[in-house]
Amino acid sequence: MPQDPRSAILAAATAPGIWDVLVIGGGASGLGTAVEAATRGHRTLLLEAQDYAKGTSSRSTKLVHGGVRYLAQGNVGLVREALHERGLLRKNAPHLVRDLGFVVPAYNWWAGPFYGIGLKLYDILAGKLNLGSSKYLGKEAALERAPTLQPEGLMGGILYYDGQFDDARLAVTLLRTLEDHGGVALNYAPVTGLLKEDGKVVGVRFRDLETGREYEVRARAIVNATGVWVDDIRRMENADAKPMLSPSQGTHIVVDRRFLPGDSAIMIPRTDDGRVLFAVPWHDHVVIGTTDTPVSGTSFEPRPLEEEIDFILNTAGRYMNPAPTRADVLSTYAGLRPLVKPADNADTKEISRDHVIRVSEGGLITLTGGKWTTYRRMGEDTVNRAERVAGLPERLTVTPGLHLHGWSEEPRPDPLRVYGSDAERVEALPGADRQLHPELPYTEAELRWGVRHESARTVEDLLARRTRALLLNARASSEAAPRAAAILAEELGQDAAWAEAQAQAYQNLAQGYQL
């Protein structure tokens, strides 16, 4: 039986000594910051309360994009930065990011010229890192690219290009990249308190959820990158800290590929609530979303609201033929955006998506806001600040040209493509010829790989984030849970009762992803 890798990671995390940089949070911003710190040669530890990308970072629209909507809002600086980062990520993780054409349908005479001019500006802002030039499409060409567009009243459209990726797999790739560069990361290790000396934050207390044991670790710089939970960490230092965030919920549905059989995505530029709606091909399925619903609380498992589902289906139904119905929804998921509170009570869809870094009196560095596309820039800015705050050696960034773990330009079919250069090693594991479920593309070998090399500890880790079974087909993933639990138990040396409890816990969770 393979040895459980977690014990060595826990021992490394709690070894005597002081870390240079300690990052709290294993989502896009935390992983990006940790990789930035480690690649500059700083001793780096990352602690994640649940699993990597468990929160917002696995629940996106699956786009690496500049943000067409931010351009419409006049936020040219944010768009230019995001387009630059999009181009870098395309070069640094070609196994995870691909170019995708988007059709913007025009049902009014003015829509083509109006959106055409805006998307030409989008091309210009991308500069030499542009993925492809936008162009006008006639009605036939638009339908050729997106055959399920509603043909009645269609005058044509605009084609533009953005990037597409797998969010949770990028998180796992950043975890592996961090480890490649000497960093240490531990999941299921929630921070329960901050250590202070003379008014300064000098370390954290965390609990190992698997044993219940508590540990204290010290660091020169401590970064709070916990997404929508940053205020919880800030209140550990100062109980009266004013909330930074105004969270908003974004919901998506996933349907069969027959609703968008071409190679292009569809972008509806203006919905009833003033947002954009995307229909995006992803892992041979179609993701449709998103919404922007202000929420008062935070949850590790936010649930789509009925009105959000209705809004997505109604909007998609006006532009797609055939129109997806509730019966066609294979999975539905919601994520919470960590939007930074504005000076006034702006509508959440008007709040800037730019990232914000704040340093408390005690030296706690909080990073929040931003989006996946700019994760690298967020990390660079945060480590620049951490070096100054903590008196660490100031070093230049290397991440703009850093090939992420598994970097490969070799075209591989789904689902092995996301492993890049590790794909052959995945295929060499037992179970590579055994499909997990007839309606899912994954093999048993991928689950073993997730446990041995990617810190997966639960059936949910394996089916929600190491593979994307939960999002592709919640019901099928639920049916696959007992087999996944048996493999996990075998890998971790657990008994049948443990496996049964794991499968049951996952099946309870998966119910919330089905309509």
Domain count, the chain: 3
Contact between residue 66 and residue 378 where contact means Cβ atoms under 8 Å apart: no
> Average pLDDT in the 381-385 region?
97
* Residue 336 domain-assigned (yes or no): yes
Q: What are the pLDDT digits (tens) for 306-359?
A: 999 999 999 999 999 999 999 999 999 999 999 888 755 555 554 555 889 999
pLDDT number for residue 365:
98
Containing 193, the helix (H) or strand (E) segment is strand 191-197
Domain that holds residue 123: 101-159+246-348
**267 and 146 part of one domain:** yes
**228 and 258 part of one domain:** no
Our CA angle for 240, 244, 245, nearest 5°, is 130
Distance, in Å, from the CA atom of 48 to the CA atom of 46, rounded to the nearest integer, reads: 7
* Residue 149 domain-assigned (yes or no): yes
Contact between residue 177 and residue 453 where contact means Cβ atoms under 8 Å apart: no
pLDDT number for residue 341:
81
Our CA angle for 353, 358, 362, nearest 5°, is 160
pLDDT number for residue 78:
86
> Average pLDDT in the 161-184 region?
98
**23 and 44 part of one domain:** yes
Mean pLDDT of the chain: 94
Q: What are the pLDDT digits (tens) for 31-52?
A: 999 999 999 999 999 999 999 9
**φ/ψ (deg, to 5) at 38:** -65, -40
pLDDT number for residue 348:
53
pLDDT category of residue 387 using cuts at 50, 70 and 90: very high
Contact between residue 260 and residue 148 where contact means Cβ atoms under 8 Å apart: yes
pLDDT number for residue 352:
53
17 or 123, higher pLDDT? 17
**455 and 504 part of one domain:** yes
* Residue 223 domain-assigned (yes or no): yes
> Average pLDDT in the 109-114 region?
81
Q: Which distant-in-sequence residues (6+ apart) come within 8 Å of 262 by Cβ?
A: 144, 145, 146, 147, 148, 281
> Average pLDDT in the 201-218 region?
98
Distance, in Å, from the CA atom of 481 to the CA atom of 502, rounded to the nearest integer, reads: 8
Number of other CB atoms surrounding residue 111 within 10 Å: 18
pLDDT number for residue 345:
52
Number of other CB atoms surrounding residue 477 within 10 Å: 33
Based on the number of CB atoms within 10 Å of its own CB, is 500 exposed (0-12), middle (13-18) or buried (19 or more)?
Answer: middle
pLDDT number for residue 347:
55
pLDDT number for residue 74:
78
Q: What is this structure's pTM? A: 0.96
**148 and 255 part of one domain:** yes
pLDDT over 80 at 72, yes or no: no
pLDDT number for residue 146:
96
DSSP E strands in 73-155: the ranges are 97-106, 135-138
> Average pLDDT in the 360-382 region?
96
**185 and 317 part of one domain:** no
**318 and 357 part of one domain:** no
Distance, in Å, from the CA atom of 276 to the CA atom of 493, rounded to the nearest integer, reads: 48
> Average pLDDT in the 252-270 region?
94
pLDDT number for residue 343:
53
Q: DSSP string covering 422-437, please?
A: GHHHHHTSTTTT-BS-
Q: What are the pLDDT digits (tens) for 87-107?
A: 999 999 999 999 999 999 999
* Residue 40 domain-assigned (yes or no): yes
Question: Which CATH number belongs to the domain containing residue 479 in this structure?
Answer: 1.10.8.870
